Structure 1
């Protein structure tokens, strides 16, 4: 039993080693290869200044995860647990940004790959403790290094970060903080795909300031012209340019100094001579030196604001070419900047459809048209673009619609695309110009149903009747032939008029005679008709009885027809006779009254 006693603890130790070896991935405890070789553990620690690789001195302390933080309370205690083996410093922030982005995306950067190949030795079977599991998988695939990640490793990393200044020698705290701040800004810009050159807030403020400067300049210049016009009113009519006017006033002062003043650096020779001539015969009033001094101060303000406005315009132009080059090519700097300012930002403008871009800036007119049920506006801010301005009034609506569609594509390309060139804008503008040319030539060139045909482009010639002068009208004595013709025409007209009148009277009298027929005349007519009818009846009686039988049927038919024809005639005659009978009765009554009076 005594011989076995020393073997018992060895067996237990071997069993414990195997158990610990199975749990090495979870606790990060001591690792054994077989029974003799001890595996070393290295720690990869990433900083904003560079990569640091530490060597674990006492691996037994990793077993106690809960009390591990006590070992890193002071730098002295921390140096007993880990020791710096190698530190690879970044040359600049771009290298740090590249390493950080590779680590965020789970890739193995070039700088990290070099460090691991140089420091971590494969022959010693060293194991690498890391914080990112994805990065550990990539390292194992490419470099064939075993990596460890466990709660003990996370606690170890936390302790190293706490005592980083004491563990990493030769790296001051200020440099570490500056590097970390710069890397944080660079990484956030990279994540958001943000560039300081693409700050559209500057455009919004610049275009607003430009509009304000234009208003102030206009007010100042009008005030200056009106103020100095009391002293030298002719100068305002001669010099139309505002800047040249203010410079001239600043240099002249009192108009009596114009004769001895040299204005060739401001005005052309012709205008200079005209100004000198007008100063001699000016009708302006005399002003004091104090008034002239105040006017000069105002001119100085106008000149300074004008110079600053030109600088601001150049700044806005460059900023627009940097942020939205395609939109600038399509509609110009000022119109593009106003569109961005109206939408709030370039990204908000990119969210608008082409129909909204077309009427952006004409919201009041749009809602008024919708309320009154009239035609909606065709254009807003885009009306001031050069392509719309150079078209005829007939094609402005079409061109503004096409320009808005292409501008919407350009805005989205500028806001969301990675390229910063203006090739797409140039191509689309060329297409629009070609379409504009086609629309302008549409009056000459037309497309028929069968094919294309050129319309006739003949010159318009107004056809007017050429009146030849009649020399016969010069004579004041009328010719005989003309007199006879006129007299004959007049006589013919006079003869035709009574004839027509007589014919009308006859026509009018004709129905009266029919109306005034007496009943006696009608009775005579009926007797004559009866006698005429009786004659053929007597002749028919003399015919043979055989023929009588045959003709009976015919007679009956004829009599029926006559009776049918006579019945409506009698009704018509009775209707016509009724007014005539009334007239006869009235006449009889009148005769009786006359006899009684006698």
Structure 2
């Protein structure tokens, strides 16, 4: 059996002298306690030295990715030419599969091979006498520095770190900006409280306060560059009858300085949002939503390996630990459930939409992180794959459904039912047609119907015993009168 050993100096191929020693894995490391004992277990057969650090770095990166470099391929071809039927012990199972597929060389990897590699690494200086110890130490240190620099340079986390920091700064800016504008509104509200209700936009409010200063200057001010004509008229009208207190010039100056800070922070927030949107457009589906998911997952490659259920429960850490301490039900939803788009739907459908959106996010992030297509065009994930995504069907449309009064009756109606209006209450009641106003046919039909109803009523009336006695008495009186 041959053993392939990768070192910072080059590739070494050893020959295992006694394969029976691999049967006892626990005692295998004792055979490498001294250089003399190690030489009785393995023997150096071939050594391919690296020319420089660049070649060593290329070989190391190829081995980390489970690939076979040019130098390793050259060494293995020599082995195949001499010992084609020999087994090759390797430290990496993925590398063994690649060697087996390309060179048809039988590779072995198990726990005994791992212990064998440990022993060879401990006594490598004595087993490979052609390399001085100082040179081997220098090559090991140089390769370690080069490999770390390579990983840092081409790390996929590098772009993610910039995005995570940017979205964190955006959240902090929103909090501070909200505190500043609320303080500005409350501070200036003592002087001109009516303007806070008229001007709702925060940036417009700060610009108006900076331009206006004292409310007594409103009559001569022109707010057309900040406010609309309607709002400008309302501000000027409210300033004339304002019930706010008088303030000094020094107070107005300090409020103006605060407005300057609000305007600068708002402009910087807009610039930061545009930068973040452009940066995320190439690697994420929805810029800000993907940023927030990525911030809580710390890395885009962590996102893509996560399941949809993990996506759905992102950012629920505080609520989760609070529920665990109180021994209550843990929260099912997190960042996606509380998104603005999901919040537009009904409470019954929020959970379903969050779960479906989490599944789509999981697919989209995997495609963006690992896909080779660099285009950032939005396309539908399911259904027609070539069709562009239609975002209108995901938005909530407020439809008012009116009640149809004609559906109350199942009988066929000749015309529409008259709708009841409040104006009809004072209207005069309709006249009832008499037999004279009606036609002769209608009058006869009604008379027949009334007579038929009367006959039915007489038939339905039950006969009582008192009426029968009266009839008998009448018959007796009639007979007596006839006899008389």
Normalised by the size of structure 1, how large is the TM-score? 0.43
Gaps of 5+ in 1: 1-24, 29-42, 52-95, 109-131, 142-149, 163-176, 444-456, 473-495, 500-598
> How has the CA–CA distance of structure 1 residues 219 and 258 changed in structure 2, closer, same or farther, with 3 Å as cutoff?
same
Q: CA deviation at 1:245?
A: 0.7
Considering only CA atoms, is the larger Rg found in Structure 1 or Structure 2?
A: 1
User: Could you tell me whether the CA contact under 8 Å between 1:388 and 1:399 is conserved in 2?
Assistant: yes
CA distance in 2, matches of 1:206, 1:429: 31
Match of 1:241 in 2: 201
Counterpart of 1:221 in structure 2 is: 181
The structure-2 alpha-carbon separation of the partners of 1:371 and 1:418, relative to structure 1 and needing over 3 Å to count, comes to farther
Aligned mate of 1:198, from 159, 162, 176 = 159
- Do structure 1's residue 428 and structure 2's residue 373 form an aligned pair? no
| CA shift for structure 1 position 242 | 0.6
TM-superposition CA deviations, 1:169-224 (whole Å, max 9, x none) = xxxxxxxx9xx99954553357xx6246533x333333333223222222221221
Matched, 1:338 2:283: no
Q: Indicate which of 262, 273, 280 corresponds to 1:302.
A: 262
- Contact conserved, 2:344 with 2:396, CA < 8 A, in 1? no
Cα distance 1:409–1:296, how it changes in 2: closer, same or farther (>3 A)? Answer: same
Confirm or deny that 1:154 pairs with 2:115. no
Q: Of 301, 304, 312, which aligns to 1:358?
A: 312
Of structures 1 and 2, the one scoring higher in RCO (CA 8 A, sep 6+) is 2
Match of 2:281 among 321, 342, 359: 321
Cα deviation, residue 238, structure 1: 2.3
Whether the aligned pair in 2 keeps the contact of 1:366 and 1:377 (CA below 8 Å) is no
Task: Report deviation, 1:311.
Answer: 2.3
Contact preservation (8 Å) 1:210, 1:313: yes
**Cα pair 2:157 2:300 within 8 Å, conserved:** no
Q: Give the 5 Å matches for 1:500-519.
A: none
Deviations 1:253-311 (A, max 9, x none): 11222333333322233433433333333332211011111111111121122122222
1:58-457 aligned at under 5 Å gives the runs 107-108=69-70, 135=74, 151=128, 153-155=130-132, 158=135, 184=147, 187-189=150-152, 194-195=155-156, 197-199=158-160, 201-322=161-282, 324-325=283-284, 329=285, 332-362=286-316, 364=319, 379-385=333-339, 388-389=342-343, 391-417=345-371, 420-422=374-376, 426-428=379-381
Query: Who is 1:461 aligned against?
Result: 406
Q: Give the count of matched residue pairs.
A: 326
Indicate the structure with greater helix content.
1
Normalised to the residue count of structure 2, the TM-score between the two structures is: 0.51
In the TM superposition, what is the alpha-carbon distance from 1:336 to its structure 2 partner?
Answer: 2.3
Deviation at 1:244, TM superposition (A): 0.8
Following superposition, the deviation at residue 440 of structure 1 comes to 9.7
RMSD: 5.4
Contact 1:204 1:341 in 2 (8 A): yes
Distance 1:226 1:392 in 2: 36
Residue deviations 1:73-99 (CA, integer Å, cap 9, x gap): xxxxxxxxxxxxxxxxxxxxxxx9779
Task: Give the match's secondary structure for 2:162.
Answer: helix
Could you say if the C-alpha distance between residues 351 and 284 of structure 1 is closer, same or farther in structure 2, counting changes exceeding 3 Å?
Answer: same
Deviations for 1:520-555, whole angstroms, at most 9, x for unmatched residues?
xxxxxxxxxxxxxxxxxxxxxxxxxxxxxxxxxxxx
Q: CA deviation at 1:46?
A: 1.7
Alignment of 1:478-489 (within 5 A): none
